[in-house]
Structure 1
């Protein structure tokens, strides 16, 4: 799912600990199927899986992209698949909600704009990596602005991954109770159908043990499973559009009908209640208080930039042009998937679509066997993906908290528990997944797509003057990113304040 692929996730982790200053040969290391870091040419015993370098730094006088110490072996097609894995994530579940609050035409305009901007930022990243000689996002930040640049990149990636973890656990919170109720044939308010309890239990007994592993091994391949689950989800969304007729049934009437009669979906639709004259008419332009979440949701859905450079390093016969081609094909594929998911989900539910599309189906049609299979597949995928996403966050925090590269079980366990506990607190106390999509999309995603790539490019690409078209374009892109981030965050915070005020007034009136 988001920000993780089977091979590139591990490549990113392994490269993370490369030193930012590689001028000293005395610290160079090599690994030969061993497990401990040692000096070049030495025999090596055991090495910490989270601290190992993926690449030795021979020929330190050369830029990394010029150095022939590692030949990429990923084909063009495999790279496209890997990058598709990195792009695709839980963000797809929020796109129908974004379309419902922008209208079809405005949503398509925004989707095209964010996709193009994301591709342009990939172009800036690749060119900056070639000029700056670094294939890790944080290293580019260090080379450009020193420690503040490295911290900015690391913090943005950490925030983005925490957002991804939160969105996955939100799916557990929303969907697992529905699965249990469906399988048990009961809708009683028992403790084991409470989403807050279930997300804690899943985190404690499944996610935590997996997250404590020193090396994830084949668990990294769950990103491929996640992509297949989302493709399956998209197919079901398209099919259900033609099975579920508008107007939608009233939820209370529907539940009563299901409990008393054994009838088909088509029959249920004949007893539906229409709440407005145009409830089944798609809108092309919509502006309301929720429209402000559209751009953050889209940026959250397209973030894959920390994985770009490791994939570039792994690409066979790599070149800037070839990697840009990989990005173009991957982004086009995800653009089509995102558009179809958003469009068919919106056309099915119109204004009644919820921030998490799968939960919208659960709300109206709990007993559908196909939807039950989709829920189980998505739940399995996101549960196994959370440890994969947590892995680089822990590695990043380890790098900043401890100058020692020696592995410490105490530090390892404490960081894992704090991260997982904090994420669970977010999922339990933040009212909706929309707020996670919105906040992370407006902050960390905007940093990774707009601000950091353009800032790194302006600083590190010396052969172009500030008056060149390329530098002017990068500067405009940086300004655009600042406007998007500040504007979106301001509007989202104002919406939160408005909702909180309205809630207090409602409680004060005794409602």
Structure 2
């Protein structure tokens, strides 16, 4: 028997009926748990989602733009990404209890497109998870050889990808994002090590001077649009913001905003440090993968090992949202053949404020897991098997990641947050946040069209 659900409307509006919820949905093999996340653990998970392979390509991206312009683009990407996270957190408060997701927000705004949104997010996360396996498989044989191992098995790329899948299984099957906080913290130690190594080699007094004019402050060309997706991709963590909202013990605006600020701010600082020092060390000759520019010393070998561990522990952070999105897609398709509860359009005629007050109450409902154990097991297994098969058969995903950055990352980071927020406030007065949401969506469309076009042009010209 459907029962109406009401929640306090976002941004100061009165409580509004959001949709009819079938009370039996949460009893079909699902479970509920008390939220245990903190600002620290949630910030660590978001930061680990952000800080991945993008760190290694930042110096090369900066070299294409110049020192000052590159630094400004990093800050711009951090601010726009943070704005997207903030808008999604505002939209999360419109969903009942602690069962927020892209699918739930889509059902309140664009119900007919909800399945397509989640499918796109799942494909994006799945593609990134494949890239992590490929990076790990490419790094480990060189690491093993540098450490003196000669066994052919340890020098095999396929062995290390197989090892990664086996080792990651317990983490990939975790139901809660908060359960990955300790592995995320371990991965961030690898970031700290890379942070130190880059500085150590830059300040090395034996480093030779760069050629005259090799460092430029501004550089503008059409290549700007082919490198911009690198910056966008580097700050994408939006697929996990709803899990953070659901699992934070105190998910008030103050705590959630603090989580966003810490994760985005720390990532921006790390990217600036690595990009600037990497560019100043090697100039315009810096490679897309910074680590290949250094000699095979013991310090660099362990740095490569730390990056391998980083991408290894980042895999579950992509598997988690991909699984949740695919579950929503499967549920949406199955509901298309059955009678589905009706969703009411959001009306915000009573809105009078741009933000939820800083002292708003935390959601007291438990974390809802509506995915059945069988579905959880099935989807996770399929994701791991397919990502394993793809990583074993593909040796380079440079082109794929360029398209992922200009399409999937752009949609998740800019277009969807802007559209969702605007739709939820379409009948309210124009506030600063509503204007920013529209501008963010327009910026996302701009990035998608021009950057995707530039990458397609490079493919047609044979530059890849």
Residue 306 of structure 2 corresponds to residue 377 of structure 1:
yes
**Aligned residue for 2:448?**
485
Q: What is the TM-score of this pair, normalised by structure 1?
A: 0.70
Change in Cα spacing, 1:113 to 1:462, as seen in structure 2 (3 Å) is same
Q: Match of 2:374, SS?
A: coil
TM-aligned CA deviation for residue 316 of structure 1: 4.2
> In the alignment, is the contact (CA less than 8 A) between 1:73 and 1:314 conserved in 2?
yes
Which has the higher mean CA deviation after the structures are superposed, 482-491 or 112-121? 112-121
Alignment of 1:243-262 (within 5 A): 243=204, 245-247=206-208
Q: Match of 1:324, SS?
A: helix
Alignment of 1:471-482 (within 5 A): 471-482=434-445
> In the alignment, is the contact (CA less than 8 A) between 1:114 and 1:298 conserved in 2?
yes
Alignment of 1:169-318 (within 5 A): 169-184=133-148, 197-198=156-157, 200-208=158-166, 210-211=168-169, 215-216=173-174, 221-243=182-204, 245-247=206-208, 277-278=211-212, 281-288=214-221, 290-318=223-251
Structure 2: distance between partners of 1:205 and 1:340: 32
**Aligned residue for 2:78?**
115
Change in Cα spacing, 1:381 to 1:77, as seen in structure 2 (3 Å) is closer
Structure 1 or 2, whichever has the larger Rg, is 1
> In the alignment, is the contact (CA less than 8 A) between 2:49 and 2:314 conserved in 1?
no
Show CA shifts across 1:50-100 (max 9, x none): xx4446xxxxxxxxxxxxxx5x55444444334323322221111111111
**Aligned residue for 2:103?**
138
TM-aligned CA deviation for residue 219 of structure 1: 6.4
Structure 2: distance between partners of 1:166 and 1:203: 10
TM-aligned CA deviation for residue 136 of structure 1: 1.6
Q: Match of 2:65, SS?
A: coil
Change in Cα spacing, 1:79 to 1:391, as seen in structure 2 (3 Å) is closer
Alignment of 1:85-124 (within 5 A): 85-124=48-87
> In the alignment, is the contact (CA less than 8 A) between 2:162 and 2:388 conserved in 1?
no
Show CA shifts across 1:209-260 (max 9, x none): 6438883486663222111111111111111112275548xxxxxxxxxxxx
Flag as ranges the 4+ runs of structure 1 deviating above 6 A. Answer: 190-194, 217-220, 408-411
Structure 1: distance between partners of 2:36 and 2:329: 32
Gaps of 5+ in 1: 1-19, 30-36, 39-51, 56-69, 249-273, 504-511
**Aligned residue for 1:24?**
22
Change in Cα spacing, 1:202 to 1:389, as seen in structure 2 (3 Å) is farther
Gaps of 5+ in 2: 1-17, 335-370
> In the alignment, is the contact (CA less than 8 A) between 2:240 and 2:321 conserved in 1?
no
Alignment of 1:25-44 (within 5 A): 25-29=23-27
Q: What is the TM-score of this pair, normalised by structure 2?
A: 0.76
Residue 329 of structure 2 corresponds to residue 400 of structure 1:
yes
Higher strand share: 2
Structure 1: distance between partners of 2:265 and 2:172: 36
TM-aligned CA deviation for residue 357 of structure 1: 1.3
Structure 2: distance between partners of 1:329 and 1:233: 20
Structure 1: distance between partners of 2:82 and 2:380: 36
Structure 2: distance between partners of 1:214 and 1:303: 20
Residue 349 of structure 2 corresponds to residue 351 of structure 1:
no
Residue 385 of structure 2 corresponds to residue 417 of structure 1:
yes
TM-aligned CA deviation for residue 297 of structure 1: 0.9
Change in Cα spacing, 1:184 to 1:79, as seen in structure 2 (3 Å) is closer
Residues matched between the structures, number: 403
> In the alignment, is the contact (CA less than 8 A) between 1:165 and 1:423 conserved in 2?
no
TM-aligned CA deviation for residue 293 of structure 1: 3.3
Structure 2: distance between partners of 1:98 and 1:291: 9
Change in Cα spacing, 1:407 to 1:193, as seen in structure 2 (3 Å) is closer
> In the alignment, is the contact (CA less than 8 A) between 1:299 and 1:446 conserved in 2?
yes
TM-aligned CA deviation for residue 305 of structure 1: 1.3
Q: Match of 1:407, SS?
A: helix
> In the alignment, is the contact (CA less than 8 A) between 2:415 and 2:441 conserved in 1?
yes
